[in-house]
Structure 1
Amino acid sequence: MAGEPQDDCLFCKIVARQIPATIVRETETTLAFRDINPQAPTHVLVVPKAHYKNAAELAEAAPALAADVLAETRAVADEEKLESYRTVFNTGSGAGQTVWHAHAHVLGGRGLEWPPG
């Protein structure tokens, strides 16, 4: 069921502190932690604590929570002292999503050319 923790979800396990992560920020509704395979000097993931499979499902089912996630990307960038940064939501395997729990990537600390990949 959307919103409920999933036993087989890596990010649900990180939120529940069953798997360790380097946490950089936490709010009542979100958790931000460093990506274990960083693609930039700063690469932080911001996840809603509730489980939604991707950004589209999150936006449709819980728009206020989606806004919380987006606001936290800004807070992470501010704390990391990033003048410029990219926020990325991969939705679907064709876009590179590999963990089926909505999450935003906050990338910065180097030039980020466009278009990516």
Structure 2
Amino acid sequence: MTLEKSIFSKIIDRELPADIIYEDEKCIVIRDINPKARIHLLIIPKKQIATLFDLSPEDKDLMGHMMLLLPQLAESQGLDGFQTRIHTGESGGQEVFHIHIHLLGK
């Protein structure tokens, strides 16, 4: 099954603008356009994976990379604590079907 190109893939491909905070070969980090906290970042893998249900064993390094990036991003934003959220599926509040981690801090 081929996924329709997500809004995040369009940001990664520079087809849509975004406030990019960080980028490497595996992921991109942007500011959320509808922030729920003073600091609200989205950590998005460059590989489009629809939901956590769609992860495969080959994605463990990618997901680990993103998790290890969270404290570095928080510190770079001056945070000494933060929350993370991953919405999964429509009933889990997921709006964009391209896995992403929300980093929120006061």
The aligned counterpart of 1:83 is 80
For these two proteins, the number of residue pairs brought into alignment is 106
Structure 1 stretches (4+) deviating beyond 4 angstroms? none
Q: Tell me the SS of whatever aligns to 1:62.
A: helix
The aligned counterpart of 1:106 is 103
Sequence identity of aligned pairs in percent? 33
- How far apart are the structure 1 equivalents of 2:72 and 2:52? 19
* TM-superposition CA deviations, 1:38-94 (whole Å, max 9, x none): 000000000000100023423644110011111222221111111110011110111
- Alignment RMSD (CA, Å): 1.7
Select between 100-109 and 78-87 the one with higher mean Cα deviation: 78-87
- How far apart are the structure 2 equivalents of 1:96 and 1:68? 24
Give the C-alpha shift of residue 7 in structure 1.
Answer: 4.6
Select between 57-66 and 68-77 the one with higher mean Cα deviation: 57-66
Aligned with residue 59 of structure 2, among 62, 69, 72:
62
| TM-score normalised according to structure 2 size | 0.91
The aligned counterpart of 1:11 is 8
Q: Tell me the SS of whatever aligns to 1:44.
A: strand
